[in-house]
A and B are shown apart, each in its own frame.
Chain A
């Protein structure tokens, strides 16, 4: 099918740009229509026709009590973060690359929309979402903090690269704007001791905004930035300092320089340890007991390009099929 035929079929719902044809639905219904056209013509979304969610670029609602906001999927996270500040909310500390993404890219892409929560866990930043499935049907998940009402259907969206469902809006979990920030700088006799210290503090409930680490001469220096409520930051600092001496840690003086490469990877802790052993300086974001988002020379899951799926490809291809 030619591009002009497609353009004709999609009508005002598409834009012909120098980069190719973009479907630009302005509502869930329009997206459903776009998908119906593509399905009828046997065209996959993302190939001949790309999807723009630019029309979904509004901060639609702020729920002050539950600390959540309803945001359009086309909003860029850095912009959303600015829109949140007047409400005294923040998305938390996101990695530099993540801040350049739209809500949709952050949820559907390899970041899988995950954010850290105390006690070393990760949870989706989206508490609920509205998406359209390949067959045009809508998927709206319930706005509730947690659920045991069947499987978590938002997993059809998170990290699925838009191949199973396309998100249009998401209700996002925010945090209160931090009252205080503090940097705790410690040095440890080994990389393992430094990372053990981080993991122990995470398990204690410490939830750092970010950290920087490097092996300096014979010791591993760890620079942890804490942000949050005044006494919360003090507690987190205490947790870090409490665990350090038993692992040979002690206060360190000079600040570390930032890493040379800004490329971000999702890394397990052993991968972080290997990179530090090679002398890399690393910036760590989204720290959890699973690992971290690492800017710097570390090996892991590349976060700026799609990678082969570990699982679920069959689900996308076989079950939901269609034009996604």
Chain B
């Protein structure tokens, strides 16, 4: 269980946030800004106790400025609530992380998050015009909108994971709801062919909102069946699936998931790699970009699968989060980690991480969040270990995977953030640059009260 804070406070206004930080500063109490707790890197663990600053009561959403195409949202606004409000008025933010049901605007800023449609609409740092925050000094800060002179302080705060400030509000760019969407799926002969297709597509100026290339193992798991939708609660399910299968899984998990080498080797027999694309926006343009992408993919030997795989992805795009329950309930563990790399390095990072983790867990990968210069690699691993050794196995997988990714040229994180899990890796990757990060810390949080331990600060 994560270490708990000593107390939790729920400020409703920026002034109250300021008051809490002022008290904490006087008493040298750690302050851990908290949104909805969807982070996966331990970014809100109260390792030093202190005050959890739950910001969800800062939940006001301003009116959309249709001319400037902006909206003001407070830090505690839940993502899905914001998108629904915007959609009801014909707008969207276009920021749809898979955590959208359980994450807040402030959390997005703190962790520098990316939505599933980021290839077109950008990551959160691209959507922000200005932020308001209370710094670790207790001062309030509102960053200016362009044009302005001087460094962009917002970009120094976004991604700071509560170590420099608590965000209170942001002015965000909004876009009209897409008039049209074009869906398409392709099968490529190899991962490398699929990656080349994405690279060439971005070089040709195409900007799909969704780009997801599944590696062969993931392609096999994604399959062609429509997404499963349960209509019976687990307690009303037949005894076979309610009791027998979970019990069987619990017994077999350490025998199978705990010895993944053979299965990982068997995946070498798989070759096919599936690409899912969605173009959206002005209807004719989306259709035109889809047609251009089709020509390009087919030139690289892809088999067109029509719209179904991409439509299926859209219908089940948040499903992965639900799968965690069954894995954990069965005594196994699962986790994901994501990095980014330039095109020169992407395939090597993929291979090196798979090789490094293969002996310890099942590992699969998809490539998404593409740019002209490279893309993100999203690895999932599932494993098990004898009772009492789970944590050791889990942590060693993290170390091995991250080290393999970095040595092959990847960064530390594309959109999950750093928290505690990747803190050491971040500090190592920064080299002497870690002093710059420390200087930011000393400037914005001279008493070191803000979220101590995260980012290695």
Whether A and B touch directly in their complex, counting CB atoms under 8 A apart, is answered as yes
Chain A residues in the interface with B (C-beta under 8 A): 63, 65-68, 110, 112, 118-123, 127, 133, 135, 137-161, 164-165, 173, 175-176, 196, 199, 203-205, 207, 228-229, 231-232, 235, 238-239, 242, 265-269, 289-291, 300-301, 306-315, 318-320
Cα–Cα, bound, A149→B203 (Å): 26
Map CB proximity to A onto B281-311 as digits: 1 under 8 Å, 0 otherwise.
1101100110010000000000000000000
CB distance from B171 to the nearest CB of A (A): 11
Cα–Cα, bound, A291→B280 (Å): 24
Of all chain B residues, the one with the shortest Cβ separation from A265 is: B147
Given A139-B436, A242-B282: A151 touches B157 (CB 8 Å cut-off): yes
- Indicate if the CB atoms of B376 and A146 lie closer than 8 Å: yes
Given A235-B288, A310-B144: A151 touches B340 (CB 8 Å cut-off): no
Map CB proximity to A onto B335-346 as digits: 1 under 8 Å, 0 otherwise.
000011111100
List 17 A-B residue pairs with CB atoms under 8 Å apart, sorted by A's residue number. Answer: A121-B126, A140-B431, A141-B433, A143-B342, A144-B410, A146-B123, A149-B417, A150-B430, A151-B164, A153-B156, A159-B151, A289-B173, A291-B147, A300-B147, A310-B148, A311-B150, A315-B151
B411 contact set on A, CB distance < 8 A: 142, 144, 147, 149
A160 contact set on B, CB distance < 8 A: 150-151
Of all chain B residues, the one with the shortest Cβ separation from A108 is: B151
Given A147-B112, A152-B156: A309 touches B150 (CB 8 Å cut-off): yes
- Indicate if the CB atoms of B417 and A173 lie closer than 8 Å: no
B437 contact set on A, CB distance < 8 A: 150-151, 153
Point out which of B147, B155, B292, B416 has the most chain A C-beta atoms below 10 A from its C-beta: B147
A149 contact set on B, CB distance < 8 A: 159, 411-413, 417-418, 422, 426, 429
A239 contact set on B, CB distance < 8 A: 282, 285
CB distance from A244 to the nearest CB of B (A): 13
- Indicate if the CB atoms of B455 and A121 lie closer than 8 Å: no
CB distance from B180 to the nearest CB of A (A): 11
Cα–Cα, bound, A66→B203 (Å): 9
Which 4 A-B residue pairs are closest in the complex by CB-CB distance? A309-B150, A232-B205, A266-B147, A301-B147
- Indicate if the CB atoms of A67 and B289 lie closer than 8 Å: no
Cα–Cα, bound, A48→B280 (Å): 56
Residues of B140-191 whose CB lies within 8 A of A: 141, 143-153, 155-161, 164, 173, 175-176
CB distance from A124 to the nearest CB of B (A): 9
Whether, in the assembled complex, B395 has its beta carbon less than 8 Å from a beta carbon of chain A, the answer is: no
Of all chain B residues, the one with the shortest Cβ separation from A288 is: B146
CB distance from B123 to the nearest CB of A (A): 6
- Indicate if the CB atoms of B342 and A66 lie closer than 8 Å: yes
Of all chain A residues, the one with the shortest Cβ separation from B111 is: A148
Point out which of B114, B159, B409, B411 has the most chain A C-beta atoms below 10 A from its C-beta: B411
A161 contact set on B, CB distance < 8 A: 150
- Indicate if the CB atoms of A235 and B289 lie closer than 8 Å: yes
Cα–Cα, bound, A110→B152 (Å): 11
- Indicate if the CB atoms of A319 and B443 lie closer than 8 Å: yes
Point out which of B120, B417, B432 has the most chain A C-beta atoms below 10 A from its C-beta: B432
- Indicate if the CB atoms of A309 and B149 lie closer than 8 Å: yes
- Indicate if the CB atoms of A307 and B149 lie closer than 8 Å: yes
Cα–Cα, bound, A299→B387 (Å): 69
B32 contact set on A, CB distance < 8 A: none
- Indicate if the CB atoms of B204 and A152 lie closer than 8 Å: no
Chain B residues in the interface with A (C-beta under 8 A): 67-69, 111-114, 120-123, 125-126, 129, 141, 143-153, 155-161, 164, 173, 175-176, 199, 203-207, 281-282, 284-285, 288-289, 292, 339-344, 369, 371-376, 409-418, 422, 426, 429-433, 435-437, 439-440, 442-443, 455
A137 contact set on B, CB distance < 8 A: 432-433, 435-436
B114 contact set on A, CB distance < 8 A: 146, 148
Cα–Cα, bound, A112→B371 (Å): 21
- Indicate if the CB atoms of A67 and B203 lie closer than 8 Å: yes
Point out which of A67, A150, A265 has the most chain B C-beta atoms below 10 A from its C-beta: A150
A145 contact set on B, CB distance < 8 A: 340, 342, 371-376
CB distance from B200 to the nearest CB of A (A): 10
A267 contact set on B, CB distance < 8 A: 147
B129 contact set on A, CB distance < 8 A: 290
Point out which of B146, B151, B199, B422 has the most chain A C-beta atoms below 10 A from its C-beta: B151
Partner of A204, one of B148, B156, B282: B282
- Indicate if the CB atoms of B69 and A199 lie closer than 8 Å: yes
Cα–Cα, bound, A66→B158 (Å): 25
Partner of A150, one of B175, B281, B426: B426
- Indicate if the CB atoms of A66 and B435 lie closer than 8 Å: no
Partner of B413, one of A67, A127, A148: A148
Given A137-B435, A312-B151, A313-B150: A148 touches B415 (CB 8 Å cut-off): yes
- Indicate if the CB atoms of A66 and B414 lie closer than 8 Å: no
7 other contacts beyond A133-B436, A269-B68, A307-B149, with CB at 8 A cut-off? A147-B340, A148-B415, A149-B417, A160-B150, A175-B372, A235-B288, A309-B148
Cα–Cα, bound, A232→B112 (Å): 30
Of all chain B residues, the one with the shortest Cβ separation from A231 is: B292
Given A149-B412, A156-B156: A268 touches B147 (CB 8 Å cut-off): yes
Of all chain B residues, the one with the shortest Cβ separation from A311 is: B153
Of all chain B residues, the one with the shortest Cβ separation from A63 is: B344
- Indicate if the CB atoms of A301 and B153 lie closer than 8 Å: no
Given A119-B121, A155-B156, A239-B282: A148 touches B414 (CB 8 Å cut-off): yes
- Indicate if the CB atoms of A155 and B152 lie closer than 8 Å: yes
Partner of B155, one of A155, A165, A289: A155
- Indicate if the CB atoms of B147 and A228 lie closer than 8 Å: no
CB distance from B76 to the nearest CB of A (A): 21
- Indicate if the CB atoms of B285 and A205 lie closer than 8 Å: yes
- Indicate if the CB atoms of B375 and A152 lie closer than 8 Å: no
B282 contact set on A, CB distance < 8 A: 204-205, 239, 242
B417 contact set on A, CB distance < 8 A: 148-149
- Indicate if the CB atoms of A238 and B112 lie closer than 8 Å: no
Of all chain B residues, the one with the shortest Cβ separation from A269 is: B68
- Indicate if the CB atoms of A289 and B436 lie closer than 8 Å: no
CB distance from A285 to the nearest CB of B (A): 13
Partner of A68, one of B373, B375, B440: B373
B284 contact set on A, CB distance < 8 A: 238, 242
A311 contact set on B, CB distance < 8 A: 141, 143-144, 148, 150-151, 153
